[in-house]
Amino acid sequence: MAFNIEILDDANNIDLITIYDGNSEIKFTNFGMRIVDWKVDGRSIVLGPNENDDLVQYYEENPYFFGATIGRYGGRIENGTFELNGQNYKLEQNDAKHNLHGGSNGLHSRVFDYEIINEDKIVTVIYTADMKSEDDYFPGNIQIRVTHRYDLIQMMWSIHYEAASTEDTLFNPMNHVYFNLNKTNQTIENHRIHNEIEFYPLKENQIVKSLDTVNINEEIGKEILTFRDVFESGLEQIKQFNGIDHPVKLGDESFTVSNDELEIEMKTDQDHVVIFTLNDVDWNDHDHTIQEHGGFTLETQSIPDDIHLLGDSAPSILRNGKTFSSETSYQIKTKDK
């Protein structure tokens, strides 16, 4: 078991952390607490920069939040405003009129202090930061601790989030990793989704409509869907957004997606996952390796805009005096040939 650290930007303390053994390799950076790459048997299974990209520039330009830790709030808050304890808060409107992924000063834009613990075949990276209300206009200063752990035997990446705030606030973090299990530069259409997809329809402005859900498996009449089935389903919501960009209800203990060779199993204590299938690509990533439907996210979090849908009982409300704690893991399994 081994790990190494490469300094990418000395002036800004940006590092690339590589953890590897014979079968797999995972790379993180303290810039936005990102997963940069994850290779299994030499194949990259997450979207990210190429070897010859300038990593910092790549992430500064990338509009899709590849691999980034998102916070304080994953997804859109309608009109960038919300009310909490009778007080109205105005956030940055960085996505049309909405606040998306916490705004431009969100966690993805920051460089974190970190420490590494190296145990037998398990490497743990612990990031810490303080986020001030004046940074992103949410109430309260929060202390955040995010732990990325890689188990080289299990090929399992787990993320633990912890936070405490000086005032009642919203905290709804997630990781914006995109997976594609294919060896070649194919889209995700061939991937099978082993769980039912029960999603929350969106309004035209991409904000969740209501708490009423639609079950794609029931609509199509198929137990196990491929992404191709979903894209070709003709369902209004899928046509409208050119793919999935929806919160999905999690019913089972785990959520699994596979192709013929690999399987990714996600486990989380969250009740929802936002799945986004890279629906419109209008960014030139120099090498042209990013394509429409070239990856899917598994963003485990509370339903975006829950503060408007659920008010005082929104799970994203973090009360002063309470500690937020949540865990998600992604495990790669190779299928028997």
Using CB under 6 A, pick the residue from 196, 245, 263, 305 that binds ligand G6D.
Answer: 245
Q: Which of 161/178 has CB closer to ligand G6D? A: 178
Residue among 74 and 140 whose Cβ is closer to ligand G6D: 74
Interface pattern 291-330 for ligand G6D (x via CB under 6 A) = ------x-x-------------------------------
- Judged by CB under 6 A, the residue of 20, 58, 64, 137 near ligand G6D is 64
H runs (alpha helix) in the chain: 55-61, 133-136, 216-220, 227-231, 236-241, 306-310
Left, alpha or beta for 72 (phi > 0: left; psi -120 to 50: alpha)?
Answer: alpha
User: Per the structure block, which two tokens stand in for 191?
Assistant: 């991937």
Q: Which residue has the tokens 């090929």?
A: 155
- Count of CB atoms situated within 10 Å of the CB of 13: 14
CB of 161 to ligand G6D, least distance (A): 17
Cβ proximity to ligand G6D: between 32 and 140 the closer is 32
Specify the residue, 19 or 278, whose C-beta has the smaller distance to ligand G6D.
278
Question: At closest approach, how far in Å is the CB of 279 from ligand G6D?
Answer: 8
* Shorter beta-carbon distance to ligand G6D: residue 139 or 243: 243
238, 266, 274, 307: which one contacts ligand G6D (CB under 6 A)? Answer: 274
In order of 82, 158, 264, the CA distances from 254 in angstroms are 32, 14, 10
State how far the alpha carbon of 320 is from the alpha carbons of 29, 60, 165, in Å: 30, 33, 5
65 sits near ligand G6D (criterion: CB under 6 A): yes
Cβ atoms of 109 and 143 closer than 8 Å? no
Residues 79-118 that bind ligand G6D (CB under 6 A): none
Of the pair 75, 106, the CB lying nearest ligand G6D is at: 75
- What is d(CA 75, CA 301) in angstroms, rounded to the nearest whole number? 9
Which tokens sit at 333?
A: 């399994």
Residues in touch with ligand G6D (CB under 6 A): 64-65, 75, 206, 245, 274, 276, 297, 299
